[in-house]
Amino acid sequence: MKIKCVAIDDEPLAVKKISAYIQKTPFLELVAECRGGFEAIDILGKYKIDLLFVDINMPDLNGLEFVKSLADKPYIVFTTAYSEYAVEGFQVDAADYLLKPVTYGNFLKAANKVKNLIDLNANSQKESIRATASHLFVKSDYKLIRIGLDEIQYIESQHEYIKIHLINSAPVMTQLSLKTIEEQLPCARFMRVHRSYIVNLTRISVIERNRIVFDGKIYIPVSDQYKEKFQAYIDGNFG
């Protein structure tokens, strides 16, 4: 599976160069190129992005401020013409830092570093979850917890963790990605409806203005990326 990327730079030639490098690299996929952080925020709200190539010195919202504002950060590689930003870039957990003009060799080195981090994280997460036809077993606070699939109402992404919300019990926190747990869940019963949410389809009773409502007070948004698939489920089961 390819690493989904966004290139962000206010300089047209610079963003085109990074975009071309992404398209040239077999394990990367260019989802969008953006001329600033505000445009990128809109893309992140619609798509699940794995990696951002972000210029630091941009007007209105610089790259560092943009990355600090993100609640659910993808991997970050900063690009800039100013080497003095390097230390501050790594303070916001950037995977790497590229000094302009960016050569393809340096770009590929940074891309491979991110790929290795993703592969290591995926292997580690697979060891933290097991599934059967009716249950999940997840690690939480050094314990292995058995969760019935029927008990799950929805699952929420929270930075490096997910929160599994249950019907009659307290939520369970575990250090997994939403993608990892999604792969373990039966697609006939669970659906990703937002980059931050998976819902138990059998627990849905109220839908209001493109939002799933649980218990009259919990609103789960259905984002544009997943709206067509969710609507097809609704039409096929409640039409």
What would the pLDDT profile of 150-185 be if each residue is shown by its tens digit?
A: 999 999 998 778 999 999 899 999 988 888 899 889
Give the rounded percent of residues in the chain with a pLDDT score beyond 70: 93
Pair 46, 109 in one domain: yes
CA-based angle 108:110:113, to the nearest 5?
110
Instruction: Find, among 78, 79, 88, 36, the residue nearest to 61 by Cα.
Output: 36
Indicate if 25 and 139 belong to the same structural domain: no
Q: Are residues 92 and 140 both part of a single domain?
A: no
Q: What is the CATH number of the domain that holds 28?
A: 3.40.50.2300
Say if residue 114 is in the same domain as residue 136: no
Q: Residue 3: CB partners within 8 Å, gap ≥ 6?
A: 27, 28, 29, 50, 51, 111, 114, 115, 118
- Asked whether the beta carbons of 164 and 147 are under 8 A apart, the reply is yes
Indicate if the pLDDT at residue 239 is higher than 70.
no
End position of a domain, from candidates 98, 125, 152: 125
Confidence of residue 131 (pLDDT cuts 50, 70, 90): confident
Task: Return the half-sphere exposure (C-beta side, CA atoms, 13 A cut-off) of residue 237.
Answer: 12
Q: What is the pLDDT of residue 89?
A: 53
pLDDT tens column, 5-49: 999 999 999 999 999 999 999 999 999 999 999 999 989 888 889
190 and 90 in a common domain? no
pLDDT at 222 over 90: yes
60 and 162 fall within a common domain = no
Phi and psi at 87, nearest 5°, equal -60, -45
175 in the same domain as 78 = no
Number of domains within the chain: 2
Question: Does 114 lie in the same domain as 10?
Answer: yes
**Amino acid sitting at position 79:** T
145 and 81 housed in the same domain:
no
> Which domain-ending residue is among 94, 125, 156?
125
Comparing 73 with 165, the larger pLDDT belongs to 165
Do both 155 and 118 map to the same domain?
A: no
Domain harbouring 217, CATH code: 2.40.50.1020
Least confident range of 67-71, 185-189, 222-226: 67-71
Residue 58: CB partners within 8 Å, gap ≥ 6? 8, 9, 10, 36, 37, 66
Per-chain mean pLDDT for the chain = 88
* Whether residues 72 and 113 fall in one domain: yes
Question: 60 lies in which domain range?
Answer: 3-125
Q: Which of 125, 158, 190 is the last residue of a domain?
A: 125
Task: Assess whether 160 and 193 both reside in one domain.
Answer: yes
